[in-house]
Structure formats: structure tokens, C-alpha cells
Amino acid sequence: MKFRNKIIISFCIIIFVPIVLATGVLFSFQHIQMRAIEQTYGVDEGNYGYLSNSVQLLNRFTKEIYAELQDISENNPQKFEDDRFLEEINQCLEGKASYLIVRREGELCYIGRNASTSLLTQLPDYGSAAENANAGTYMDVGEQLLIKQIDFEFPNREEGSAFIVTRVEEMVPEIKSLFIDALISIVIILILTASMLSAWIYTSLMNPIKKLQVAAQNIKDGNLDFTIEAESTDEIGELCKSFEEMRERLKESTEEKLKSEKENKTLISNIAHDLKTPITAVKGYAEGLLDGVADTPEKQEKYLRTIYNKANEMDTLINELTLYSKIDTNRIPYNFAKINVAEYFNDCVEEIGLDLEAKNIGLAYFNYVDEQTVIIADPEQLRRVINNIVGNSCKYLDKQKGLINIRIKDVGDFIQVEIEDNGRGIAARDLPYIFDRFYRADASRNSATGGSGIGLSIVKKIIEDHGGKIWATSKESIGTVMYFVIRKYQEVPNE
């Protein structure tokens, strides 16, 4: 999830979640507390509009007791002479922030506990009682009081009045509890919401940042053998993914650099070794000439020819080294041209045949391609490919009569060149690696089979740059066949 979306969600959570939860909590508390108020004070169920009016609320507190006293005053007024009954009524009123006063012929005959002394002389006169149970008299005599009056006659016809006095300033305890609980709940909701958001943001932001910090330290210390797993698809996840790709690239680059350094060291070692042998031979034969060891024209010619051949070997090695440096920087110069296959390979075979004849190696050439077949290739580089393969075959010929076959075949859109020898062959374990740079199946590096180890890698590079492919098959003690294919040139018809 994108951080933009997370910010929007966080904003919605901060705004709406507390409101929804607080509404739910308030509704629950209201339901619980209002039921308690109904049971305690006898308030009508579902009618809570009076909660904002304390006088109206307190008037309802004593509605039931007022109705009971009204009934007694009409049907059984002698109970007002029973102190025990009056005490029970007063105890009920105390739970409703009220108390009872009974007056008889102007004299107070019962005064409930906690009654206001300033009120006792200011009670309404007989005959002032309201006919409606929902009505009362408000008085402010040091404290705010709501008085409900019931006038009646004692059994002996004496005038009497019962007063239910309620203290207006006292709030309902359950309502106080409701507000306190609601306030505490809202605070808890806000804390929980903030904690949830903090944990969410911390998990999605801080944990990946710590991973990146550790990864950066590892890279700083040169340790690239670790992985960074992206746990999300947001910006941080994309950053982790990019960081992992960078680490992989750095690791590949480092491995390639180490491999290149190793290959360069191998190349230098190979070239030094392979140059040392012909140089030693050149020096030896040159000293023989200087010292007069070659005292006949025949010996002198043999010494000079040997020096010439060894110089050619060194020239070949130096050329391979130069070409290798161009391969390594991908700067091989190509001059592509249209080449007639039949004519080109006829010339190559004729040139190669002269060299092989001098080495007493037989050559057979078979061309199965139409005489008009044309390819696009660099003649010089393709000749280098053929010479390198043939030269490699000559090094490893171990039969009394060496033989090399060259076949040119038509394979659809490609021509296939096959160069077969009857040499010692290549072991199956070595065959997959013969085109790798510096790989040598013959580790002895004797003077007969010496080389830089980059000849076949150069061949592979040139063929692939021509859009072709090269491979080999071999059987030990029987021989090796090198195959490569190059695409034919085809004219694109004009529409």
C-alpha cells in the first residue's frame, strides 16, 4: 500500500474511529445508566428530554411517592399520625434527595432528617396545594428547594398538610457517573487509536528502514552475501527492492571484477610461459649460429627456420593477446560484406591445405551448399575462426596419419560448417568448458600443445557476433567435430 493511501487511511481512522467508538460507548452507557435512573427515580422509560432541566427531572423523582401520599390523604388520612409510617416515607425520599414535613393545624408534627431550618417558617399556607402532581413550588431560602404540597383533613377534621421537599441543586449521581465514564472511555479510545496507528506506521516504516540501515552497513563493510526482502508494495517496499537489485548488481560486478582479475593473471601467466619456450629456443639457436655450431649451410638453414617458426609462434600469441583485449572491451573491428560461400571456402581450404601438407596431415573438403549461396560476414575474422579451429586440431593430432575433414552443409536458413579431426579427442567432463576463456583440457602445457587458452573463446565470440552458434562433439581416442552455423543472406523483396 502506498504511503499516500496510508496517510488518507490514518486521517480517516483519527477522525471517524474515535467518533464511532465514542458514540457506541455513550449509547451503551446511556442505556445502562438510564435504566438505573428509571429504576431508582421512577422516570418514564424512553423520555429523557428532561435531563437537561434539573427542576423538571427532580420533580419526576417523587412522582410515585406523591401519588401514594395523595391516595392516603383521601382514603386513609390517619396514617399521617403514624410516626413509623412517616419515617418509612421519609427514608424513601432520602434516596431521592428529598425529605418529608407534615403540618397539623399550623404546627409541624413531623420533620424529616436534614430539613432546612429556614424553610420551616416559610412553608405555603393550607389550601395552596396544586391539583397537578407534576406541579410544585420553587423556593430559594438559603438553598434551592422544590416543594410539593398535599392538603388533607385528619380524622378529627383538623387541617393538615404534607410537604415533599426536594433539593434542586443536587445532581443525579448516575448522570455524574455517566459523564465520568464517558469521558474516561473517550480518553481510552483516543489512546488506543493513537497506539494502533503508531504501531502500524512503526511496523510499515521503521522496520524496513532498520533493514536498509543494516544492509547499508554490510555493503560498507564489503559484505554482499545477504538478501533484503520487501515485506510490502509501498514506497519503502520499492526502495527495499531497488536496494536488493543494487546489492545483486554490486555482487555481480565484484564477482566479475574478481573473475576478470583472475583471468588476467592467468593470461599473463600463460603468455609468459608460452613466450618463454620460443624465446629460449630462439636464444639457443641464435647462440648456436654465433658460436659456429651450425657450421654447414644445411644446419644454418635449419637453425634460421627454427628461429623463424618460433618468432611466428610469439607473433601468434601476441596477436591473440591483442584480440583478447578487444574482446574484453567489446571492440573487435568487423568489416561485414556479402561472401559467396563456395568461393570463400574454396580459397580457405586451398590455403589451409598447403600448411597441412607440409605437416603431413590429410585434408578432405566437401561442399554441399548451392554455388549461389551468400552469407554476410567479416572475411578476415571468419578466416581467423577456421584457422584457430584447424590449428587447435593440429595440436592434438596423435595418429600416425592425421586427417582433417571440412564439410559445408545447407541447413535451412543457415549454412553449417563442420571441421572434423582424428585426434585424441576431448574428455566428456571437459567438453562443456572448451569455449570458456583460459580453459585448457591439457594442463601439462608442453611445448607442442601450448597456447594462451583463449583461442576457442575468441572463436565463440566472433561466431556469436555474426549471429551464429558454435558447439562441439568428441570421443576420446577417436576425434573431435567442431560445428558452427551462420545465417544465409536473403534479399528482401520490394513491395
Which of 154 and 133 is assigned the larger pLDDT? 154
Helix axes 63-75, 54-61, angle to 10 degrees: 40
Model confidence at 308: pLDDT above 90: no
CATH number for position 123: 3.30.450
| Residue that terminates a domain, selected from 170, 189, 224 | 170
**Per-residue pLDDT at 247 exceeds 80:** yes
Q: Lowest mean pLDDT of 230-239, 300-309, 475-484, name the range.
A: 230-239
**pLDDT of amino acid 43:** 52
Q: pLDDT value at position 50? A: 47
CA atoms within 13 A on the CB side of 45: 4
On average, the pLDDT of the chain sits at 80
Domain's final residue, options 170, 186, 218: 170
pLDDT at position 446 is 46
Same domain, 69 and 109: yes
Q: Kindly tell me if the per-residue pLDDT of 337 is higher than 90.
A: yes
% of the chain beyond a pLDDT of 90: 22
Residues 340 and 472 in one domain: yes
Together in a domain, 183 and 161: no
349 contacts: CB under 8 Å, gap ≥ 6: 363, 365, 406
Q: Is the Cβ–Cβ distance between 294 and 286 less than 8 Å?
A: no
pLDDT at residue 495, rounded to an integer: 53
| 330 occurs within a structural domain | no
pLDDT band at 2 (very low <50, low <70, confident <90, very high): low
Give DSSP secondary structure letters for 225-260. Answer: --------SSHHHHHHHHHHHHHHHHHHHHHHHHHH
Residue 483: its pLDDT value, please?
97
Give the pLDDT of residue 445.
45
- Do 71 and 192 lie in one domain? The reply is no
- Mean predicted confidence (pLDDT) in 392-398: 88
**Of the listed ranges 156-165, 192-201, 280-289, 449-458, the one predicted with least confidence:** 449-458
* Average pLDDT over every residue of 157-164: 90
Domain final position from 170, 190, 223 = 170
Point out the least confidently predicted range of 196-205, 243-252, 446-455, 458-467.
446-455
Instruction: Give a yes or no: residue 283 inside a domain.
Output: no
Distance between CA atoms of residues 290 and 271, nearest Å: 28
470 & 372 share domain: yes
Q: Is the pLDDT of residue 342 over 90?
A: yes
Q: Are residues 25 and 133 in the same domain?
A: no
Residue 130 lies in a domain: yes
Q: What distances in angstroms separate CA 284 from CA 23, 280, 289, 425, 437, one per listed residue?
A: 106, 6, 9, 34, 32
pLDDT at 42 over 60: no
Predicted confidence at residue 373, as pLDDT, reads 94
Which among 404, 389, 384, 417 is positioned nearest to 484, based on CA atoms? 417
Q: Would 320 be classed as within a structural domain?
A: no
Cell 629460449, located at residue: 280
How much is the pLDDT for 493? 60
Read off the pLDDT of residues 60-91 as tens digits, 9 standing for 90 and up: 778 888 888 889 988 998 999 898 999 999 98
Lowest mean pLDDT among 228-237, 241-250, 281-290, 369-378: 228-237
Q: Is pLDDT of 325 > 80? A: no
Angstrom distance (rounded) from CA 437 to CA 492: 38
Phi, psi of 411 (to 5 degrees): -125, 65
Domain that holds residue 10: 3-41+175-205
What is the pLDDT at residue 315? 83
Average pLDDT rounded to a whole number, residues 419-424: 93
Q: What is the pLDDT of residues 46-59, one digit of tens each?
A: 444 444 445 556 66
Q: How many domains does the chain have?
A: 3
pLDDT for 174-190, tens place per residue?
556 667 777 787 788 77
Evaluate whether residue 214 is within a structural domain.
Answer: no
**Mean pLDDT of the region 12-37:** 69
Per-residue confidence (pLDDT) for residue 100, from 0 to 100: 92
Mean pLDDT of all residues in 449-461: 73
Q: Does residue 441 surpass a pLDDT of 70?
A: no
Is residue 481 one of the residues assigned to a domain?
yes
CA 408 to CA 391: how far, in whole Å? 18
Q: In what order do the strands lie in the sheet with 402-411?
A: 361-367, 402-411, 414-421, 479-487, 469-475
Question: pLDDT value at position 21?
Answer: 73
Give the pLDDT band of residue 103 (cuts 50, 70, 90): very high
Helix (H, G, I), strand (E, B) or coil at 453: coil
Whether 354 maps to a domain, the answer reads: yes
**Mean pLDDT along residues 216-227:** 83
Q: Residue 23: which H helix or E strand, with range?
A: helix 3-41
Mean pLDDT score, 381-395: 91
Beta-bridge mates of residue 138 = 146
Q: Is residue 307's pLDDT more than 80? A: yes
Kindly state whether residues 156 and 33 are assigned to the same domain. Answer: no
158 in the same domain as 126: yes
Do 69 and 200 belong together in one domain? no
Q: Residue 101 has what pLDDT?
A: 92
Q: Do residues 18 and 75 both lie within one domain?
A: no
Do 70 and 37 belong to one domain?
no
Residue 447 has pLDDT above 70, yes or no: no
What's the pLDDT score for residue 215? Answer: 84
Average pLDDT on 191-196 reads: 78
What pairing do the DSSP bridges indicate for beta strands 402-411 and 361-367? parallel
Distances (CA, A) of 120 to 100, 129, 141, 147, 402: 12, 17, 10, 12, 145
Q: What is the CATH number of the domain that holds 382?
A: 3.30.565.10
Q: pLDDT tens-digit profile of 253-269?
A: 888 888 778 777 776 77
pLDDT average, residue stretch 239-244: 83
Residue 246 domain-assigned (yes or no) = no
Mean pLDDT of the region 448-466: 77
Q: Do 346 and 449 belong together in one domain?
A: yes
The whole-number average pLDDT for the span 405-428 is: 94
Read off the pTM: 0.48
